[in-house]
Amino acid sequence: GFENVGWFALMAPSNTPKLITDKIYAAAIKAVKSEAMQKSLELNSLTPVLNTQKELEAQIVSESAKWEKVIKARNLSAN
């Protein structure tokens, strides 16, 4: 079988200081947990997953490997 889940991530340039990314992460968590955001997410049938930077990095590696297999198996290429 095959499963595909759409997802969004908040990212910053790789050379962004950790102090800054930590502040952005804290603000994002606060926003996602707000009542207004929770209502908006629910209205759009979205479920937030509040991954850490390390968890997101692992997800990107995993997704890249999965899609690489699909691309090679189907002999796909970008034009």
Q: Is residue 24 part of a domain?
A: yes
Range of the domain at 61: 18-73
**Domain presence at residue 6:** no
H helices of 1-79, in order, are 18-33, 35-43, 53-73
Total domains present in the chain? 1
CB neighbours of 7 closer than 8 A, spacing ≥ 6?
Answer: 49, 59
In a domain, 34, yes or no: yes
- What's this model's pTM, rounded to 2 decimal places? 0.74
| Segment 3-40, tens digit of pLDDT | 788 899 999 999 999 999 999 999 999 999 999 999 99
Confidence at 74, pLDDT banded by 50, 70, 90: very high
Is 29 contained in some domain?
A: yes
pLDDT digits (tens, 9 = 90+) for 36-65: 999 999 999 999 999 999 999 999 999 999
pLDDT for the residue 4 = 80
Whether residue 4 is contained in a domain is answered as: no
Let me know: does 73 contact 55? Beta carbons within 8 Å: no
Q: How far apart are CA 4 and CA 60, in angstroms?
A: 13
pLDDT at position 3 is 77
The answer to whether the Cα torsion of 22, 13, 58, 49 is positive or negative is positive
